[in-house]
Amino acid sequence: MDRTIGRDGAAARPPPASAGPPATPGEPALRHWADADAFALFRGLESSRRGLCEDTAALRLHVHGDNATDAVRRTGAAARARRALAGPFSGLMTVLGVLLAVAGSPGSATLVLVVAALGVGLRLWHAVRSDRLSRELRAHAATTVTVRRRPAPGTTPRDSEVPPEDLVPGDVVLLGAGDPVPADARLLRARDLLVDQSSLSGELLPVAKAPPSSRAPSSRGPRRRPSRAGSDDGPVTAHPALLFAGSTVVRGTATAVVLATGAHTHTAELAGRGRRPRPESEVDRGLRSVRRALVRCMLLAAPLVLLVNVEVSGDVRQALLFAVVVTVGLAPELLPLIVGTTLLRGTTRLRESGVLVTRPEAIHDLGSIDIACLDKTGTLTEDRVVFTHSVDVDGRPDPAPADAAAVAVRFQTTPRDGLDDAMAAADRDGSALLAHGLLTRVEELPFDHARRRCAVVLRDAHDPGELVIVRGDPDTVLPRCTRVARAGEPVELTASLRVAAADAVAGHRATGLRVVAVATRRTPLLRPLGAGDDDDPERDLLLLGFVGMVDPVRESAARAVERFAEQGVAVKVLTGDDTAVAEQVCARAGIAVTGVLDGAALDALGEVALARAAERTTLFTRLGPLQKERVVAALQARGHTVGFLGDGLNDVGALRIADVGIGVDGAVPAARAAADIVLTDRSPDVVVSAVEEGRRTLGRATRYLTVTAALNVGNTLSVLVASAVLPFLPLLPAQLLLQGVLFGVAALSLSFDRVEPGWTARPRRWDTRGMLWFMAVLGPLASAFDLVTFWAVWRFLGLDTPQEQAVFQAVGFSEGMLSQVLVLLLLRTRAGRASRPVVATVCAVVLAGLAVPYTPLAPLFGMAAPPPAVWPLLAAVVLPFLACVAAIRPLYLRHVLGIDAADPRRER
């Protein structure tokens, strides 16, 4: 298409008065145009049934921009860098590095900055990897759309193929079966139109669409009254005259006028909710609280130490170095690296299980989930309809209705939907294939929304006349029946038999089955159709019975629900489907429904009332996009950590505000972009496994942060007390950093270790109070044994002068390193052997740490080789310290990890 404005000859025509109407702003405008008559519609859009002129379309394209169909945007390098730099303690470590350089300790400064860079680099690598995974999940297909335009005013319109990006408000588009709907549009004409808009509304089956005033698609069928859609009732997607970008035409043809394109479509509005800032999760809040507690200690201790030392010694440089030592002693230097490594390990394990992680931090949030919100269609069920059985009017099994329905589907020329495929599968003995050789199709009356039934007229080669087979909603088929088949013989359909038929239908619907009535009629050769009732093939029907179909529950659904219950996770079902069907699916999946709330009742509740109702409700039905968001937000308001699984545009907002948004590989691009993790398998069993892995990963990170924070508090107390009596610093910044790095290397192996027994048995959260309590116990205990070491070195080894401080500090470094690493090994689990990677890493770290004072690296860290007498002293201090830690380990398990010390369970 030529986008040039003012092509040859354009100057001879008056320029357009404007670029056309603005893109329609949201649901109110869509509802307004949906109910407008054709004259007002085209006048408001400054268009006509003949389409726009090419020049007008080009001008509107320039004003409104491309009709961008993919709302997913690639994360830029700058955004990734900002997220990486925003990691915990990254800025603090950088500041400490600068202060150490100012204080004249370039070696220590370099070490601090390297550690900070490693943490930032790991977070950046995670961001790049997640962005690459998201791009791999996106599927782009090159398509075109048929649009009706005129080369110039007064010329004949022509239909041509243009890229969907070139559409503008006012364009007239032509759609057929299989075409994606490229923009929000209002129907002008439609024939047998069925549209799959499940990604927007959550409905399993395609929905019928028709303009505000239309006739039955076939002149052979009975006349129908104009359809009337209440523009203010229900979700906007339920309006039969509106088509929405992101849906697909399943059957029929349509002519429509474009109302909105690009970012102004209803689809873009839903997708845009996935780009809102994500609310802070439970894990984020817990980590932030611990970080703030440590930072407060640093901000309190460092200035105090600086002022006191300047006042006592008068040496500003020495005082600054001493203040930095205190700050370094409190800072968990390798926190970003350790947390990033545990996340990397968790990401790898989840990928092996069929879970792709797009936001690594979500793995920790998975461990905190106590409510899982699942969709019914495609998650608990298999996203398809299957034949179950067919019965007669009395509810007795009878193959005749299913056989007749299968024959009708065989001769159907319009594209099949899920119900058609299910009825075709009912032909188990091949009778429909045999009938194909004897019968020929005469005419077909396709399904439409007003009639809610379809019919096919067949001619039998061995039987004069014609056979009419009608299938459809029992409520519309039964009134057209005058006879019923009982025991293979036709009898009059009396009032009592009609009641029996209605009871049979109601009974099947109550069990969650989808019911289709099947009726036939033998007629003479039908004449060309006229307007009289005698020409209606859907009258005087013989009711054969009913065909039952069901959306089958996944085999793994019941097992997944049971495993969720074992993990302490409550399952709630959020669906756009009917209540009766959803209740039966829950029953077959083993979900005990304690309360039901549909969309209309939900809208009548305020936020406080909804929060109370949501907590005691299991099943939410007939929900729209905003209603799903409200349910998730209401559960969060009651203190729950919520995981939400969805795959459609109507799920994007809920995916974004949930603590963990869970998408699937086949989801729409906007839903995958809003999700934190993406399942390659829709089975809910995969979600359960992901939650278990999230708890293990959270347990490893919690253990490291708790132990290292407590030991760092001990280091700080030791330095503060010892400095009051020693004529030199008990430990230098470089020594504390090296001690922290060696401890961190040992902690890196925890990502390969088992977690504590019972840890995955229930939801886990960052228990800030328990962590701070344990810091207050273990920190002073570690400090007490450090001070004992300092006293013993001073008292028994006689290292009490500034000239001997290198040996003194080497002994203090060895004792601190040995104590910290062995404490980590001791607190890693209550019972069971450590995994081989953990044992190997701890042994290597201990040997390396003890060897440093005897290597050429010792002068770089301000240390000298201690005498042999130090080894009995270290044993005399470290072993009692470990015994004390073992004594308080039950308190650690109970108050920090929340595990009963008598719990016999074991973890993998």
Catalytic residues: 375
Tokens of 790: 């300092």
- Spatial distance between the Cα atoms of 806 and 814, rounded to a whole number of angstroms: 12
- The number of beta carbons lying within 10 Å of the beta carbon of residue 293 is 17
Is residue 872 classed exposed, middle or buried when 0-12, 13-18 and 19+ CB atoms within 10 A define those classes?
exposed
In 3D, which of 382, 418, 415, 376 has the Cα closest to residue 514? 418
- Spatial distance between the Cα atoms of 362 and 832, rounded to a whole number of angstroms: 29
Helix/strand number for the chain, H first, E second: 30, 24
Mapped to the 3 state alphabet, what secondary structure does 417-458 carry?
Answer: CHHHHHHHCCCCCCHHHHHHCCEEEEEEECCCCCCCEEEEEE
Tokens of 78: 């700058």
- List 186's β-bridge partners, or say none: 242, 257
- The number of beta carbons lying within 10 Å of the beta carbon of residue 228 is 10
- Spatial distance between the Cα atoms of 59 and 13, rounded to a whole number of angstroms: 15
Tokens of 806: 């290198």
- List 161's β-bridge partners, or say none: 146
Mapped to the 3 state alphabet, what secondary structure does 286-352 carry?
Answer: HHHHHHHHHHHHHHHHHHHHHHHHHHHHCCHHHHHHHHHHHHHHHCCCCHHHHHHHHHHHHHHHHHH
Mapped to the 3 state alphabet, what secondary structure does 239-266 carry?
Answer: CCCEECCCCEEEEEEEEEEEEECHHHCH
In 3D, which of 626, 578, 617 has the Cα closest to residue 596? 617
CB of 753 within 8 A of CB of 838?
A: yes
Measure CA 148 to chain center. Answer: 39
Going by C-beta distance under 8 Å and a sequence separation of 6 or more, which residues neighbour residue 301? 326, 327, 330, 716, 720
- Spatial distance between the Cα atoms of 349 and 356, rounded to a whole number of angstroms: 10
Measure CA 107 to chain center. Answer: 46
**Cα distance from N-terminal residue to C-terminal residue, the chain:** 62
- Spatial distance between the Cα atoms of 299 and 308, rounded to a whole number of angstroms: 15
DSSP state of 605: S
- Spatial distance between the Cα atoms of 2 and 55, rounded to a whole number of angstroms: 9
CB under 8 Å, gap of 24 or more: what pairs does 92-96 form? 92/295, 92/298, 92/331, 93/119, 93/331, 93/333, 96/324, 96/327, 96/328, 96/331
Is residue 277 classed exposed, middle or buried when 0-12, 13-18 and 19+ CB atoms within 10 A define those classes?
exposed
Q: What are phi and psi of 441, to 5 degrees?
A: -80, 135
Packed helices 106-137 and 90-102: angle between N→C axes, nearest 10 degrees: 160
Going by C-beta distance under 8 Å and a sequence separation of 6 or more, which residues neighbour residue 780? 713, 714, 717
DSSP state of 553: B
- Spatial distance between the Cα atoms of 387 and 381, rounded to a whole number of angstroms: 15
- List 549's β-bridge partners, or say none: 387, 514
